[in-house]
Amino acid sequence: MLTFRTPLEIPDRPKMEADVVIVGGGPAGMACALRLSQFIDEHNAIHPETPLSKENIYVLEKAREAGQHCLSGAILDPRAMHELLPGFETEAPIEAMVRKEAVHFLTETRHFRFPVTPPPLQDHGNYVISINRFVKWMAEKVEAAGITVFTGFAGSELLYDGNKVAGVRTDDKGVDKKNEKKSNFEPGYDIHAKVVILAEGTRGSLTKELITKLDLARDANPQTYGVGVKELWNSPPAASSPAKSSSR
């Protein structure tokens, strides 16, 4: 399990003020930033006399590059993306559309096709994407919308005002394995924010801390997990025909 080092005791940490900090720049964090940006654009169009700024909205992503920690899948069910960015297919990195699907039971020498494809494995009309490339593209959209994505910055601790989350401390840089400063040490920032949104994915470290501190899991269904095995195959080009398509 990945855990963050305890930030060092630094009396004068650099500070930043923020309106909103989104911790985690995966699909959820990027989608959140884009939706927030759309709300602000809508507000500013209706109320030009009280414009809202996006200048102090930040996405913190611990990977050095957006998308770098997004390695799963993926088959994209495009419904949510259609709502978020209608017509996204024309510019998003999509490898192919699923046009047929089947489940085969493989033996050493033969294969048997299932008579039906179970619903969870039916992906007709969905898109085959590299989630890594897709999230990188979403990050570009977020930045183009005027929201800053800080890559290489992990939220390492939540800041509290009593029981209220009041910001995020980013990780210290230049710390050795014994949690001691190296010559290139740089303290993390204390980002004081009006709103902190945790989009760390499953079992995020700050999320777990907050769930425990505020007992947020009380009366809630526990998170559930499944263990699966995924195998990547390199198949000869003639064996498959991914056709890029922008129409559904």
Ligand X SMILES: Cc1cc2nc3c(=O)[nH]c(=O)nc-3n(C[C@H](O)[C@H](O)[C@H](O)COP(=O)(O)OP(=O)(O)OC[C@H]3O[C@@H](n4cnc5c(N)ncnc54)[C@H](O)[C@@H]3O)c2cc1C
Q: For residues 143 and 151, what is the distance between their CA atoms, to the nearest angstrom?
A: 12
Residue 54 vs 169, nearer CB to ligand X: 169
**Binding residues vs ligand X (CB under 6 A):** 23-29, 60-63, 69-70, 72-75, 154-155, 199-201, 204-206, 230
Long-range contacts of 148-151 (CB under 8 A, 24+ apart): 148/57, 148/58, 148/59, 149/25, 149/33, 149/58, 149/59, 149/61, 149/66, 150/58, 150/59, 150/60, 150/61, 151/25, 151/61, 151/63, 151/64, 151/65, 151/66
- At 50, the amino acid letter reads T
Residue 40 vs 66, nearer CB to ligand X: 66
User: How near is the Cβ of 75 to ligand X at its closest, in Å?
Assistant: 4
User: How near is the Cβ of 99 to ligand X at its closest, in Å?
Assistant: 17
- 6 and 41 Cβ atoms separated by less than 8 Å: no
Residue 115 vs 118, nearer CB to ligand X: 118
Residue 29 vs 167, nearer CB to ligand X: 29
* Residue sitting closest to ligand X (CB): 26
Residue 5 vs 52, nearer CB to ligand X: 5
User: How near is the Cβ of 84 to ligand X at its closest, in Å?
Assistant: 13
